[in-house]
A and B are shown apart, each in its own frame.
Chain A
Amino acid sequence: MHKIWVVIRREFLERVRTKWFVIGTVLGPVFMFGVIALPILMAERGARARAVVVVDATADGFGRRLVAILDQTETVRPALEVVPPERLEGTADSLAGEVGRETIDGFLLVTAATVNEGRGEYRGSNVTSPADMRILQTALRNAVFAERLRREGVEPSVVGRAQIPVELVTSNVRHGRVTGESGEASFLLAYVMWFLLYIAILLYGVQVMGSVVEEKTSRIVEVLVSSLRPFHLLTGKILGVGAVGLLQLGIWVGFGKFMLDRRADVAKLLGQDTETAMALSRMSFPEVPFATIATFLAYFLLGYFLYAALFASVAAMVNSESEARQAQTPVVMLLVIPTVLMIGILNDPGGSMALALSLIPFTSPIAMPVRWAAAPVPLPELAASLAILVATVLAVMWVAGRIYRVGILMYGKKPGLKELARWVRG
Chain B
Amino acid sequence: MPEAGVVELHGVTKRFAGHTAVNDLSLTIPRGAIYGLLGPNGAGKSTTIRMIMSILLPDTGRIALFGGRQSGKDLSHRIGYLPEERGLYKKMRVVDLLVFLAEIKGVARGVARRSAHEWLGRLGLSDWEHKRADDLSKGMQQKVQFIATVLHRPELLILDEPFSGLDPVNAQVMKDTVVELARAGTTILFSTHIMEQAEKLCDAVCIIARGTKVVDGRLAEVKRRHGGSHVVVAVERREGGADRVLGDRRLVARADDYGGYAELELAAGADPQDVLQGLLRAGARVTRFEIAEATLHKIFIDMVGPDAAAARAEEDTAHA
Interface residues of A (CB under 8 A from B): 2-3, 6-7, 10, 14, 18, 214-215, 218-229, 409
Contacts and interface: CB of A to CB of B under 8 A. Distances in A.
Contact of B53 (A3, A215, A219, A226): A226
Q: Helix, strand, loop or mixed for chain B's interface? A: loop
Contacts, number: 60
A222 B103 contact: no
Contacts of B85: 219, 222
Contact of B87 (A7, A10, A219): A219
A154 B114 CA distance: 98
A219 B86 CA distance: 5
Contacts of B53: 226
B250 interface: no
Nearest to B91: A14
Given A14-B89, A14-B92, A218-B90, A224 B83 contact: no
A223 B92 contact: no
A227 B101 contact: yes
28 contacts: A3-B106, A6-B100, A6-B104, A14-B89, A18-B91, A214-B89, A214-B90, A218-B87, A218-B90, A219-B83, A220-B86, A220-B88, A220-B89, A221-B87, A222-B83, A222-B85, A223-B83, A223-B87, A225-B55, A226-B53, A226-B76, A226-B83, A227-B77, A227-B101, A227-B104, A227-B105, A228-B104, A409-B55
Contacts of A218: 87-90
B81 interface: yes
A280 B106 CA distance: 57
Contact of B106 (A2, A221, A229): A2
Given A227-B101, A227-B105, A222 B55 contact: yes
Contact of A220 (B55, B76, B87): B87
Interface string B136-154: 0000000001001000000
B90 to A, nearest CB: 6
B75 to A, nearest CB: 11
Contacts of B77: 227
Contacts of B79: 226
Interface in B218-234: none
B87 A226 contact: no
B279 to A, nearest CB: 56
Which of B82, B104, B145 gathers the greatest number of chain A CB atoms within 10 Å?
A: B104
Nearest to B82: A223
A218 B55 CA distance: 18
Contacts of B103: 3, 6
A227 to B, nearest CB: 4
Nearest to B46: A222
Which of A218, A220, A221, A229 gathers the greatest number of chain B CB atoms within 10 Å?
A: A220
Kindly list the 5 A-B residue pairs having the minimum CB-CB distance in the complex, ordered from nearest.
A219-B87, A218-B87, A220-B87, A222-B83, A226-B81
B299 to A, nearest CB: 31
Contacts of A221: 87
A223 B81 contact: yes
Q: Helix, strand, loop or mixed for chain A's interface? A: helix
A264 to B, nearest CB: 44
B125 to A, nearest CB: 18
Given A226-B55, A226-B76, A226-B83, A7 B89 contact: no
A232 to B, nearest CB: 9
Contacts of A2: 106
Given A218-B88, A227-B104, 18 more contacts: A3-B104, A6-B104, A7-B104, A14-B92, A18-B91, A214-B89, A215-B89, A218-B87, A218-B89, A218-B90, A220-B89, A223-B83, A223-B87, A226-B72, A226-B73, A226-B79, A226-B81, A227-B76
Nearest to B81: A226
A10 B98 CA distance: 12
Contacts of B145: 223
A404 to B, nearest CB: 13
A207 B120 CA distance: 32
Contacts of A219: 83, 85-87
A14 B91 CA distance: 8
A18 B90 CA distance: 13
A102 B90 CA distance: 59
Which of A18, A221, A226 gathers the greatest number of chain B CB atoms within 10 Å?
A: A226
Contacts of A215: 87, 89
A391 to B, nearest CB: 28
A218 B90 CA distance: 8
Given A2-B106, A229-B73, A223 B89 contact: no
A227 B105 CA distance: 6
A14 B92 CA distance: 7
Contacts of B87: 215, 218-221, 223
B144 to A, nearest CB: 11
Nearest to A222: B83
Nearest to A5: B103
B101 A223 contact: yes
B21 to A, nearest CB: 13
A229 B148 CA distance: 18
Which of A2, A14, A228 gathers the greatest number of chain B CB atoms within 10 Å?
A: A14
A10 B73 CA distance: 21
Interface string B58-83: 00000000000000110011010111
A222 B89 contact: no
